[in-house]
Amino acid sequence: MNFLSEMRELLPKIVADGSSLDEAIYETLVITREAKRLLFIGNGGSAAIASHMAIDWTKNAEVPAMCFNDAAALTAIGNDIGFNSVFAVQIGCHYADGDVLFAISSSGQSQDIIAAVNLATKGPIITFSGFASDNPLRRKGTINFYVPSNDYGLVECSHLILNHAILNAAIGLKNA
């Protein structure tokens, strides 16, 4: 089967725990409208999505947003404290009341993402995961989006689509 056919089949299978996908996108939209700032974390391809979305929220929706994947910060914290702490240290320093954390992990198993989510207790958390249905990240958020696939490309593309669906709704409300 080719990638586009697989993507077409996968999109209707994406779930948001506890509500329909449309309801979860709307709930996330409400949360972002009330947010002081949006914070994004992710590794590898998910880091690229996190960076992409932070700048799009800032530039296109005029919502303060930032991503914690600066290479110098990651390597300094990883070397001096440990890679599992690269996001937790930054969340501990920057996360404040009214912030919303977007945690993106294709597998939902990334210990650095889990550590940061465990520390982020001051506001809502939106998670995006895939692979195993019982991955640890999947139940840690206020809203949890899950892509039922073990293919990195399909999961990452789905996460980007979900993030853009939320952002586009926010831009539509801003321009209404």
How much is the pTM?
Answer: 0.97
Average pLDDT over residues 59-64: 97
Contacts within 8 Å (CB) and 24+ apart, 65-70: 65/37, 65/38, 65/39, 65/40, 66/37, 66/38, 66/39, 66/40, 66/94, 67/39, 67/40, 67/41, 68/39, 68/40, 68/41, 68/94, 68/116, 69/41, 69/42
What is the residue extent of each domain of the chain?
Answer: 3-175
Average pLDDT over residues 128-149: 98
Residue 157 has a pLDDT of 98
Portion of the chain with pLDDT greater than 70, in percent = 99
At 44, the pLDDT band (50, 70, 90 cuts) reads very high
Residue 15 has pLDDT above 90, yes or no: yes
Average pLDDT over residues 26-39: 97
Q: Which two tokens stand for residue 83?
A: 């890679």
At 173, the pLDDT band (50, 70, 90 cuts) reads confident
At 176, the pLDDT band (50, 70, 90 cuts) reads confident
Average pLDDT over residues 53-68: 98
The model's pLDDT over 87-138, given as tens digits with 9 standing for 90+, comes to 999 999 999 999 999 999 999 999 999 999 999 999 999 999 999 999 999 9
Residue 18 has a pLDDT of 86
| 101 or 176, higher pLDDT | 101
Residue 175 has a pLDDT of 86
Residue 1 has a pLDDT of 66
Portion of the chain with pLDDT greater than 90, in percent = 95
Residue 83 has pLDDT above 80, yes or no: yes
Was domain 3-175 assigned CATH 3.90.550.10?
A: no
